[in-house]
Amino acid sequence: MLLTWLLKPFKPPPENAEWIHWGRAIFATYFLTSIPFRIAFLPEFEPTRKFPGFVVLDLASTTFFCYDTIVLAQLHWNSPREDSIIPTTYEPHNDDPIIQDRENFDETVLFKQTRHIRHRWRVLFSFAITVPLEYLSYLLEGEDRANIFMINKLFRLFYLKGYLEYLSMILGSKGHLKNVGFRRTWALFFAMALAGHWCGCGFYYVSRKQAEKGVAMTWPEAAGLYSTMSSEEATESNLKIEATLFESYIQSLYWAYITMITTGFGDIVPLTIQETVWCIFSMLVGVFITALTIANLQQLVTSLDASRLRFQREMEIMKKFLRYRLVPAGLQKRIATFFDHQWDVLKGEDEQKFLLELPQSLQQQVTNFMCRDIIASLSILRKANTSLLNALVECTEMNTYSPNDEIVKVGEKIRGAILISRGEAELMKGAMVERKLRRLDRFAEECLFVDKVSLHSVRSKGFSEVLILPSVLFQRVINFQCDEDHIAQMKETSLALAKNGAKANKLFGLSDDLAYIDSFEKHFLPSSKFRKIWDILVLIGLVLYVFYLPISFMHLIENSPFTKTPVLLSLQYVLDAFFIADAVFNFHYFVYFEEGLLVRDKSYIHQKFISSRNCWREIIGMLPLDLLSCFFGGRYLHHFRLVKVVRIPNIVNSFQNIDSMLSELNIDIDLSLYRVIKLNIVMITACHWVGCIWFMMASLSMASGYDGNWRVADENNEFLSVKHSDFAGFAGYLRSVYWALVGMSTVGYGDIIPTNIIETTYATFVILLGGLFLPAIVGGLAAYMGNFNIAGKTFQKKLARVRSYLLRINIGDDVLEKVLRYYNFHWSRQGGIIENEAMDKLPTTLRFSVASHINGSMIESTPFFSRCDQSTKQIIVTALQSRVFTPLDIIAKEGDNGFEMFFLQRGRVTISTSQMSLPVITSSSKGDFFGECYLLDSETSCETVTACVYCEFYVLSQDDFKEIVESADERLSVQNSVQHYVNQKKSRYQKMARNLTLRPKCERLLKQKMGEKPRLSSMNLILPDSKLLLLWDTVLLSSCSFIAWAIPFRLAFQSEMEMSHFDFVIDLVIDSFFLFDMVLHFRFIAFIQNGKLVTDINKIKRHYKAHKLRLDLIAAVPLDTIARLVLPSRFANFVDSLKLLKLIRLGRQFHTVDRLFRELLDRGFNLAPLRLVEFLSGVVLIAHWAGCGFYAVARWKNRYQECAGKESSGLEISKWASHHAECLWSDTWIERQIRKGKLPTSGGATLQLYIRSFNWALPTLVVVVIGDVVPVSSNETLYAFIWMAIGVTINAAIIGN
């Protein structure tokens, strides 16, 4: 009671009070950051006037948490215990002693008691970590007392996660952090920042304590942060602080981040055992948080584009299907436009799939919500109750129509009422538009009661969603729920409305409202060439802004007027004028499509521009603020240019326009490859921005009065020969971007490091943000690279599973070969596409159009379907299902009962009967049909149909036929026609059998015609799956592997020497192999095309000429040898480079590796380790190329001939073995290796040089850098930067595979 009375004045805040949650997060963060800082850097802290800022903030934070604890206690003691604000669950177990007696066990009482105990402990714990124990330091003497007593407040760390999650929910409800991935990302960044702060403070604290105990050297002393004093000089402490508090803290934080994010520049390292132990602990914590952050960022990077990627893959599958079925370009464009509309509306979400995932009750509620208002708009149902409307909703059909699709045709029987749900339609009579139908408008309402043939056509103007309420189902519902008087009243109302509507249509009839578009306006249509070119120019302009604007950062501090960068600024002014024109065009001229309708009204175009773009951002971006530099001075020109950065967010929409353009132009590009390219652009852009600001940091350091900066240190480094003036001043920028990539990719060479507090502060934030962002880009690249040729990989995995299963059950080799041939046929023809699934994704009208194009002519030419009306034929066309038969499959057997009729699409079949010993007919024409007798109930087949090759059929089942042909009279008419056709066929076969019996010459001619051609023997042709061909391809693979290793090595290490006899012989043998292989493929090796074995010599020759001859000829002819004999010696480099053409053959050998693996799989080998070896061998090969190039850059810097006989240039002869070595290796990375003793003074033997260059290449490519081999010149820096950018992708490929 006393406690309740004491807590009564404190009223809890309302539930929607955000300030309490913000206060918890802010004050908890203050405690968690300030207390470790004071323990490490302010050991003398006491809650006195000496530290007023900390004292005030401590008091405010403590007061807030006291209030929070009191409110928590009040809610606990004053509220009913069963209605606690903190949800707690208790799940009793069978072995708990408290519930052994189940008869007396009350789970509700136990739950309340347990929750009450937990609440009490929470209140007590909150009170314990809130009490200001630091004031007890007045009672004790000595340093660190106040800080030590504040440690209880650090236990707020256990509450911080909940505080941040609640803030994320608040921000998400306001639309700031809607994406869950973004919420997790900023929380993990906060965790890394806080962990780095703690580790940095702990690193300094451990070192300070060691120094106070008299340890000779610690890292802060080595860094110049403090120095130790002798006992005579020391007063209270033996440390003399040399740096400011901020400098010490930044250095500690800098070490923490480069250690925890695994960058490791190596400029700050632990020097004592205690520091090493703390370093190990920090690395473990950092690796854990870094892994979580990078994994979340990777998921975020891929999920941002996941729905678009999934949608584009579905479009890619659809395009393959349409191309395979030779669908006309106009219909393909209609389908592509429909899917683009679906993306604009649903953003790739599958509406039907979403509804199916809901419970039945919720499905019904959502469907009723979507359609009930539209059904209720019918005049006859204005007063209908909810149950009637819900029943009618279940009867409706929802269809989506593309622009210019006919919803109802003239002369077509109207099935029921037509209601517009979305979009716009036109009621037309001839070319006259009598009425426009928009949302909630309807047509043919009277057809719910009377049968009527349409005198009008209803055409969709844009993309329209139309509800059709069938009259048959409508009559069933109202007859069940309404009385006769009500039904009669509804019928009378509908007929009266129909008459009034017809009069209104005649009175207000309109001609087509599409005004004439003149030649000038045609250029502004979304599909015009001008718009496409303009969109490309906009993207190029934005990309140029992205790369040009950061260069302005490089000159912000310097006095750099217009005259110093005239070309750059002139180009930017051209871009400014271009984007002003772009804003004018988008605001006034660029028409657009909305739901398939062309919007040309200027007011709508203005509204579209205002709603889709930030007007203030556009205005600021267009303002010529550069002119203000005329008044303030030319050095401020770059400051005013920075306002153009507001244009950069438009690049996202520009890339989306390019995506749509690529889709319209049917440009086939691997979607994963396309996204890999975009992510690489993002990575290079991030390095560019960070590098430009890093360049500016040196200028800022000079302007702030620091003696040195990283640029001066870089040029004055005795181990480097870098000059920032190289490449016309481009070398300084190159070194900046090089540092950015090295730092953010966690390579961490350590050859460029910050030299003052300004640069260290910037480097700290770059490592924290970039060191997590760039690995996330690598993760995104890995995810996309793992999806390269995803359809092909999926097919190969499926084929491997099928092969493994068939081998496991010991199936015969002939059956195994037949199954694998079938899968290869399916892949070669359709790329693994399941045709029925592709058709199901199309709306009804487009499905009718595609099916009519594929099978419409077959149904029209079928004699017994000619009696059906047009709508029935359309339904039959869409009901046909695709089916494939392999060679020698029996499609229909004489005397058997079946259930499907077959229409031949592709292939060749033979037809035979029991009355004749030989097949009498060979059919290969599209549209030929068999099994028509199966549409009859009791008829058996009179023929046996056998597939000669792979055959594609469309089948119509008996059940589908009966369901489609609903009318009994129509079905009987079709069945009579079928019976008549079957009888004719039987009679024809009987006559053919009698002729063969009476005329033996006919039988001989038939045998000659139907006989098989003699097969070529194995002596004439080599089959594509023969072991002999596999052996030969293995020899070629070994040869290509040898030249892939040998040619780069020769170009780098032997380019100045004469070719040895051994090399000449090897090249001659390999060239002979290639020429012999050309002869084999030109004449003797068969191939499989579309699942069929091609053995015709002429076809083999034509196929080889069309696909392989040119490249094989370039790779096989010894062009380098010919050029060496013809050209003079000064063209030696060109002659040597011709050897690279032989590497073309390497790309042809990947299929050999796949065949070898398939052979090993058949023999029971586990391919996973071999696949890993294959991939890593590729990585090592690329590293070999990079290492050879790295050596070549150093070697070609000082030409070999020019250094022959070169006199000393003044360097000490003791550093070099000869004057030749001095000339050849000076100012290269090899000189640095010689100075460090890694190479002898002569430069070393070829093997030594190769090992050192490879020692640079492989760690760089896999981003695990040792750092003992680094570029030392501008040329080497450029080369290293290129390979590091490539290495990021290779590292992603390693992770992805």
pLDDT of residue 106: 45
Per-residue pLDDT tens over the stretch 861-915: 888 777 777 777 878 888 888 888 888 888 888 888 888 889 888 888 888 887 6
Q: What are the tokens at 99?
A: 């519930």
Whether the predicted pLDDT of 262 surpasses 80: no
Whether the predicted pLDDT of 966 surpasses 70: no
Q: What is the mean pLDDT of residues 390-413?
A: 81
Which of 71-85, 315-329, 791-805 comes out lowest in average pLDDT? 71-85
Q: What is the mean pLDDT of residues 397-424?
A: 82
Per-residue pLDDT tens over the stretch 345-369: 776 666 666 666 666 666 666 666 6
Burial class (CB in 10 A: 0-12, 13-18, 19+), 724: buried
Per-residue pLDDT tens over the stretch 969-988: 667 777 788 888 888 888 88
- Run of H or E including 408: strand 406-408
Phi (first) and psi of residue 293, to 5 degrees: -65, -45
Q: What are the tokens at 871?
A: 């709508």
Q: What is the mean pLDDT of residues 489-496?
A: 79
- Alpha-carbon distance values, 1007 to 589, 923, 925, 1003, 1179 (Å): 74, 16, 21, 6, 60
pLDDT, greater one: 1248 or 1261:
1248
DSSP code per residue over 669-682: --HHHHHHHHHHHH
∠ at Cα 542 (539, 548), nearest 5°? 140
Q: What is the mean pLDDT of residues 444-466?
A: 82
Whether the predicted pLDDT of 1184 surpasses 50: yes
pLDDT of residue 1014: 39
Radius of gyration (Cα) for the chain, nearest Å?
40
Distance of CA 232 to the CA centre of its chain: 67
The Cα 1083–Cα 1101 span in angstroms is 6
Q: 909, 844, 905: which is closest to 325 by C-alpha? A: 905
pLDDT of residue 1013: 43
3-state secondary structure of 895: coil
Q: Hey, what amino acid is at 120?
A: R
- Alpha-carbon distance values, 486 to 492, 707, 737, 1138 (Å): 10, 98, 81, 92
Per-residue pLDDT tens over the stretch 646-676: 888 888 788 877 777 776 666 666 667 777 7
The model's pTM is 0.73
pLDDT of residue 198: 92
DSSP code per residue over 788-835: TTHHHHHHHHHHHHHHHHHHHTT--HHHHHHHHHHHHHHHHHHTT--H
Q: What are the tokens at 1179?
A: 């990585």
Whether the predicted pLDDT of 853 surpasses 70: yes
3-state secondary structure of 364: helix
pLDDT of residue 447: 81
Per-residue pLDDT tens over the stretch 1030-1084: 888 889 888 888 888 888 888 888 754 456 677 778 888 888 888 888 888 888 8
The Cα 1097–Cα 1085 span in angstroms is 9
Phi (first) and psi of residue 858, to 5 degrees: -65, -45
Q: What is the mean pLDDT of residues 71-87?
A: 53
- Run of H or E including 343: helix 329-346
Which of 200-214, 668-682, 843-857 comes out lowest in average pLDDT? 668-682
pLDDT of residue 967: 62
For the ranges 118-122, 218-222, 232-236, the one whose mean pLDDT is highest: 218-222
3-state secondary structure of 33: helix
pLDDT of residue 1213: 46
Whether the predicted pLDDT of 919 surpasses 70: no
Q: What is the mean pLDDT of residues 1188-1198?
A: 83
Q: 444, 661, 411, 649: which is closest to 532 by C-alpha? A: 661
CA dihedral of residues 643, 644, 648, 649 (deg, nearest 10): 50
Q: What are the tokens at 295?
A: 């994994």
pLDDT of residue 99: 39
> With pLDDT > 90 as the criterion, what percentage of the chain qualifies?
1
- Run of H or E including 406: strand 406-408
Which of 1126-1135, 1165-1174, 1207-1216 comes out lowest in average pLDDT? 1207-1216
Q: How confident is the model at residue 201 (pLDDT cuts 50, 70, 90)?
A: very high
State the CB neighbour count (10 A cutoff) for residue 1030. 15
Which of 85-94, 270-279, 996-1005 comes out lowest in average pLDDT? 85-94
Q: 841, 834, 855: which is closest to 400 by C-alpha? A: 841
How does DSSP classify residue 440? Answer: T
Residue with structure tokens 């032989």? 1142
Q: Where are the alpha helices (DSSP H) in 1054-1095?
A: 1061-1083
DSSP code per residue over 1111-1174: HHHHHHS-HHHHHHHHS-GGGHHHHHHGGGGGGGGGGGGHHHHHHHHHHHHHTT--HHHHHHHH
3-state secondary structure of 1255: helix
Which of 18-27, 77-86, 557-566 comes out lowest in average pLDDT? 77-86
Whether the predicted pLDDT of 40 surpasses 80: yes
Q: Where are the alpha helices (DSSP H) in 623-670?
A: 629-632, 637-641, 651-664
The Cα 427–Cα 445 span in angstroms is 14
Q: 610, 589, 607, 591: which is closest to 599 by C-alpha? A: 591
Q: Using an 8 Å Cβ cutoff, are 455 and 434 in contact? A: no
For the chain, the farthest-separated pair of C-alpha atoms sits apart, in whole angstroms, at 135
What mean pLDDT is reported for the chain?
A: 76
3-state secondary structure of 1011: coil
CA atoms within 13 A on the CB side of 279: 18
Q: How confident is the model at residue 488 (pLDDT cuts 50, 70, 90)?
A: confident
Q: What is the mean pLDDT of residues 774-780?
A: 72
Q: Is the dihedral of CA 1269, 1275, 1277, 1283 positive or negative?
A: negative
Distance of CA 740 to the CA centre of its chain: 25
Q: What are the tokens at 436?
A: 């426009």
3-state secondary structure of 73: helix
Q: What is the mean pLDDT of residues 18-34?
A: 87
Q: What is the mean pLDDT of residues 546-570?
A: 71
Residue with structure tokens 């608040």? 170
The Cα 206–Cα 278 span in angstroms is 8
Q: What is the mean pLDDT of residues 1204-1228?
A: 64
Q: Using an 8 Å Cβ cutoff, are 932 and 978 in contact? A: yes
Number of H helices, E strands in the chain: 50, 22
The Cα 1260–Cα 1283 span in angstroms is 8
Q: What are the tokens at 868?
A: 């059906």
Whether the predicted pLDDT of 759 surpasses 70: yes
pLDDT of residue 531: 85
Q: What is the mean pLDDT of residues 65-93?
A: 57
pLDDT of residue 630: 65
- Alpha-carbon distance values, 783 to 127, 302, 507, 1297 (Å): 48, 7, 63, 9
Per-residue pLDDT tens over the stretch 571-594: 878 888 888 888 888 888 888 777
Buried b (16+ CB within 10 A) or exposed e, 54-87: bbeebeebbebbeebbbbbbbbbeeeeeeebeee
How does DSSP classify residue 1065? Answer: H
Beta strands in 991-1127 (DSSP E): 1087-1089, 1092-1094
Q: Is 888 left (phi over 0), alpha (psi -120 to 50) or beta?
A: left
pLDDT of residue 631: 66
3-state secondary structure of 956: strand
Q: What is the mean pLDDT of residues 299-308?
A: 71
> With pLDDT > 70 as the criterion, what percentage of the chain qualifies?
77
pLDDT of residue 107: 45
The Cα 909–Cα 901 span in angstroms is 15
∠ at Cα 234 (228, 240), nearest 5°? 40
The Cα 1228–Cα 1256 span in angstroms is 14
Per-residue pLDDT tens over the stretch 725-756: 888 778 888 888 888 888 887 666 677 888 88
Q: Is the dihedral of CA 598, 604, 605, 610 positive or negative?
A: negative
How does DSSP classify residue 586? Answer: I
Between strands 457-460 and 425-429, the pairing is antiparallel
Q: 880, 890, 898, 789: which is closest to 835 by C-alpha? A: 880
Whether the predicted pLDDT of 183 surpasses 60: yes
pLDDT, greater one: 450 or 827:
450
Between strands 416-422 and 425-429, the pairing is unpaired
pLDDT of residue 556: 67
Residue with structure tokens 């850059």? 1193
DSSP code per residue over 1180-1238: HHHHHHHHHHHHHHHHHHS-HHHHTTPPP-SS-GGG-S-HHHHHHHTTSHHHHHHHTTS
For the ranges 20-29, 176-185, 303-312, 651-660, the one whose mean pLDDT is highest: 20-29
The Cα 84–Cα 114 span in angstroms is 12
The Cα 1239–Cα 135 span in angstroms is 64
